Amino acid sequence: MGRILAFAGSSRRGSWNRKLVRIAAAGAEEAGAAVTLVELGDFPMPIMNEDLEAAEGIPERAAAFRRLLLEHDGILVASPEYNGSIAPLLKNALDWASRTAREGEPSLAAFRGKTAAILSASPGNLGGLRGLVVLRMLLGNLGVLVLPDQKAVSGADGAFAEDGSLLDPVLDRAVRRIGRRLAETLRLLEKR
């Protein structure tokens, strides 16, 4: 059974991407994966700075997030789009997690061998699609296999019910399918 770390690249109250990742995570759980859903806001980190790292090491909350990545086989991320890219909160967390914690540890250990699925939600017509291009490239550069399937939910400001569910059942199934595909891929990779 694959272990998936799921999170949104937003800590905003009422974040559409937090709602979206929960739905995809439910799809992964339905397919038999063990999902750990975390809030990046629970891992406050200073801006990545090599001088700070040299003086004090990896900050405690950055190290905790990094450990979570190490403990999981897959990553499920819903990322908002900021000016055609990913949110600074997400970029900073990934940058800190990319650091080597111990001498002799392989480079990018928190990401190597991981498989990811990505999603986004935005009130705009593209649904955050431009940010997903950047996220796919960044994760790939870190050594993560990013599944080709992705979902960008446009009109997010009117797509969710008060309880966080998607109003459109077809869209709900598509988002759950992203989580399910990640779980199924991890299961296939375990058999190798």
User: In the predicted model, is pLDDT for residue 105 greater than 90?
Assistant: no
Place of tokens 């077809």: 170
Q: What CATH number is associated with residue 99?
A: 3.40.50.360
pLDDT, position 190: 86
Integer CA distances (angstroms), 150 to 57, 85, 119, 120, in order: 35, 16, 6, 8
Q: How many domains does the chain have?
A: 1
- Position 191 scores a pLDDT of 74
Name the residue range of residue 71's domain. 3-190
DSSP 98-124: TS--STTPPTTTTTTT-EEEEEEE-SS
Give the distance, in angstroms, between the CA of residue 73 and the centroid of all CA atoms in the same chain. 12
Q: Which strands, in side-by-side order, build the sheet including 74-78?
A: 34-37, 3-8, 74-78, 115-121, 145-153
Mean pLDDT of 77-89: 95
Tell me whether strands 115-121 and 34-37 are parallel, antiparallel or unpaired: unpaired
Number of H helices, E strands in the chain: 6, 7
Per residue in 123-134, pLDDT tens?
Answer: 999 999 999 999
Q: Is the pTM of this model over 0.75?
A: yes
- What's the pLDDT tens digit per position in 138-163? 999 999 999 999 999 999 999 999 99
The mean per-residue pLDDT over the stretch 168-186 comes to 98
On the question of pLDDT at 104 being above 90, the answer is: no
What average pLDDT does this structure show over 79-91? 94
Over residues 29-53, the mean pLDDT reads 96
Per-residue pLDDT, 192:
66
**Measured distance CA(116)–CA(100) in Å, rounded:** 21
- Mean of the per-residue pLDDT values for the chain? 95
pLDDT in tens, 10-30: 999 889 999 999 999 999 999
